[in-house]
Homo-oligomer: A and B are copies of this chain.
């Protein structure tokens, strides 16, 4: 792709009315556009990152047979009334009447919907376990939209829902998802800490959150540097308790340190709350009818985009890894001789063909966060200068050698 053909340009200044680092950087780099408070459009470079995030999640979830679905955003009041959540969530769920007087909500989550749908397909223990997931927009009427794309009113999430005949099966599946989540966040380049959190309204068990340490995070967690495990504030101190003076010990005995963090994923055992509400039952081997046991597992995909921008960026701009980057290399030719690119590279290469100064081009390569900047100049003669974005390391090498190296990685 030629830089001159990109839909967006970079901006030198931070946008007005934007405080969060992720929103400032992503806007300056042309990855996102703010439509209104808490609502962003994802522009082409940002979309390529989002597609990579989606792809990584899909690849990992498919390894254990979870199937993808695409659920309704317009929600039926009746569906949400059986669980009582039409009223419980009315402060955060956008709810309105259409011109025929029918009550409609916008999806904040889909537990009721998947339980209702599953009723048509799960009848016997032979139909269990099952897992379905969706990667879609969710809507939340946040009282105060803040932190850029970290806490918006419209955002994209991956939600996986699993269905089980017994606790043992649930526990095994839950453990497997936990392992897959560690792989997913690893591929995304995020060092996610698993924390115990309260089960909320769903279960008396702990639920688990995946937290990324960040100075601008909204959550407070305690982390054991020895175990790399964490506990969130509510678990440690109880809701509303001042925790500034608490000494928190890890299960291993070491003292835990307090840090700010971003929640990028969470996993919940839902138990039988929703299956009982909608009447999602199955016949066991003896012919007895029991409610299906459920769990749900979220990852905020647009929040991951923002979290990477928060924690992996530096003073020069964004930093993507090879898995998430919109393009793999940013080419700058100061000689006019060209790189002699083959067709099959066009999808991984950004070629800066603009009539701009070398300094501007260097700055944009950094701001966009492309993993490798490759410069051809008089100084490099028949070689190229390769700068690795994440380390800043510079190496002069043959162009073909660099391409080979990239292929091996």
Q: A residues touching B (Cβ–Cβ < 8 Å)?
A: 1, 4-9, 30, 33, 35-36, 39-44, 46-48, 50-51, 65, 67-76, 79, 91, 94, 96, 98-99, 104, 106, 113, 117-118, 120-121, 126, 130, 132, 137, 139, 141, 143, 153-154, 156
Out of B30, B41, B120, which one reaches A33, CB within 8 Å?
B120
User: Are A30 and B69 touching (Cβ within 8 A)?
Assistant: no
Contacts of A67 in B (CB 8 A): 6-7, 44, 47
Q: Is the CB of B69 within 8 A of A130?
A: no
Considering the complex, give the chain B residue whose CB is closest to the CB of A154.
B74
Report Cα–Cα, A68/B130, bound state, in Å.
33
Is A68 a contact of B44 with CB atoms below 8 Å? yes
Q: Which of these, B41, B42, B96, contacts A113 with CB under 8 Å?
A: B41
Give Cα A403 to B387, complex, Å: 46
> Distance (Å) between the CB of A320 and the closest chain B CB?
17
Complex Cα distance, B76 from A79, in Å, reads 28
Shortest Cβ distance from residue A25 to the other chain B in the assembled complex, whole angstroms: 16
Q: Is the CB of A73 within 8 A of B113?
A: no
Contact, CB under 8 Å: A7 / B121: yes
Asked if A7 and B98 sit within 8 Å, CB to CB, the answer is: no
Some 5 contacts from A to B, beta carbons below 8 A apart, are A4-B126, A35-B75, A35-B113, A44-B68, A47-B67
* Residues of the B chain whose Cβ atoms lie less than 8 Å from the Cβ of A51: 68
A146 CA / B226 CA spacing, docked (Å): 61
Decide if B73 touches A73 in the complex (CB within 8 Å). Answer: yes
Contacts of A99 in B (CB 8 A): 91, 141, 143
A121 touches B73 (CB 8 A): no
- Is B35 touching A72 in the complex (CB atoms < 8 A)? yes
Residues of B within 8 A of A121 (CB): 7-9, 30
Which residue in B30, B48, B75, B96 is a CB contact (below 8 Å) of A96?
A: B96
